[in-house]
Amino acid sequence: MITSVTAPEESPFLRACRRQSVPHTPVWFMRQAGRSLPEYRAARKRKTMLAACTSADLITEITLQPLRRYHVDAAIFFSDIVVPLKAVGLDVDIKAGVGPVFGRPFRGEGDVARMRDLDPTDVPYVTKAIGSLVAELGATPLIGFAGGPFTLASYLVEGGPSKNQERTKALMYGQPKLWHALLSKLTDITISFLRVQVAAGASAVQLFDSWAGTLSPDDYRAAVFPHSKRVFDALAETGVPRIHFGVGTGELLGLMGDAGADVVGVDWRVSLDEAARRVDIGKALQGNLDPAVLLTPWEVVERRARDVLARGRTAEGHIFNLGHGVLPETDPDVLARLTDYVHEESARGPA
Ligand code: CP3
């Protein structure tokens, strides 16, 4: 059991999310569970990604795997952003090496009319897994998550991963009424999926709007912001910290905070001191070591991590993370060493 006597409420991770003082900078890694771990590859051997995401036992096991290796300050619920869409009956699969692929991509109004909201009974494995995880984790907080409405729409409209988001943008720019109808439905599903996770015991939530960075601030404000804001507003009553993350979102950081996030996730393109200037007061930051740095000699990792910590001190609260997910070729021992380094270096305070 990975437990101690205190409750998650007083953990460094939740304290940093709330911009309170911490004994050390908390750290966790996006995709800390996943292909970089041999035990993950073994657990997944005979199961498809979606089969793993709908098995309470596998969710629990895979979520705990990185906690057995790293002294990370939080666990992240093992799932995928398309799990709630599958749960409401959409024809989606996750193809290895590709990502989410829809059998029948979004084609128009009829598809909006057919989409329904998610009910907790659609995802019993989520409630069950989180219940077991919270009991097992003790004082270590569990982060729940969902995909942001834009990123979900992008997969649904494109039918799969897309570099330029051309179909998504054509719908967004050309048919705003239909776009907002689609995003409203996806927002309902996202809110329901996050509520299930918090009701089951998740201590914080992260909204992954990974591909929102392809939009200009004006388009983001008009087409995405109201929906993401509705997600954060709906979660406010739960009292759990809300993290908002995207890739290439340097120009959107202020807006992503204004949408209602307590913590703004930053990728490696914008330094944390600059990000701190771009968000409004009252926000903590999360990030932002380039995941590719973990493939370099330790001296480079250490120097770069120290720089992230130094710049993170200019924020009102800082949670150390990578700028995006752990790359599959990452050596887990480097992540273990980095976790301990962040703890020790930050506990020492500024040089
Ligand atoms: O962070 C974690 O450890 C929690 C697990 C998690 C997964 N997906 C597991 C996963 C989280 C938070 C996600 C979110 C997710 N899924 C996002 C947002 C975060 C991001 O990376 O920007 C997105 C865009 C997706 C969609 C998706 N699912 C992609 C792009 C892929 C990778 C495709 C590939 O094989 O390279 C997936 C599959 C996926 N989701 C894997 C994992 C561990 C790999 C599947 C495998 O093991 O074969």
Q: Per residue in 126-140, pLDDT tens?
A: 999 999 999 999 999
Secondary structure (3-state) at 119? coil
Annotated catalytic residue within 18, 35, 269, 306: 35
In a domain, 2, yes or no: no
Residue from 80, 194, 321 whose mutation best tests the ligand 1 pocket (most atoms within 8 A of CB): 80
In a domain, 236, yes or no: yes
- The pTM (predicted TM-score) of the whole model is 0.96
In a domain, 46, yes or no: yes
What's the CATH number where 271 sits?
3.20.20.210
Q: How far apart are CA 318 and CA 268, in angstroms?
A: 15
Q: What percent of the chain has a predicted confidence (pLDDT) above 90?
A: 97
Q: Tokens for 125, please give them.
A: 């494995």
- Report the candidate in 42, 117, 50 with the shortest Cα–Cα distance to residue 82: 50
What was the pLDDT predicted at 351?
Answer: 65
In a domain, 301, yes or no: yes
Q: How far apart are CA 165 and CA 167, in angstroms?
A: 6
In a domain, 1, yes or no: no
Q: How confident is the model at residue 7 (pLDDT cuts 50, 70, 90)?
A: confident
Specify the number of domains making up the chain. 1
- The Å distance, Cα 98 to ligand 1 centre, comes to 10
In a domain, 175, yes or no: yes
Secondary structure (3-state) at 239? coil
- The Å distance, Cα 80 to ligand 1 centre, comes to 6
Q: Report the interhelical angle of 56-69 vs 332-348 (nearest 10°).
A: 60
pLDDT digits (tens, 9 = 90+) for 29-63: 999 999 999 999 999 998 999 999 999 999 999 99
In a domain, 3, yes or no: no
Range of the domain at 114: 8-348
In a domain, 319, yes or no: yes
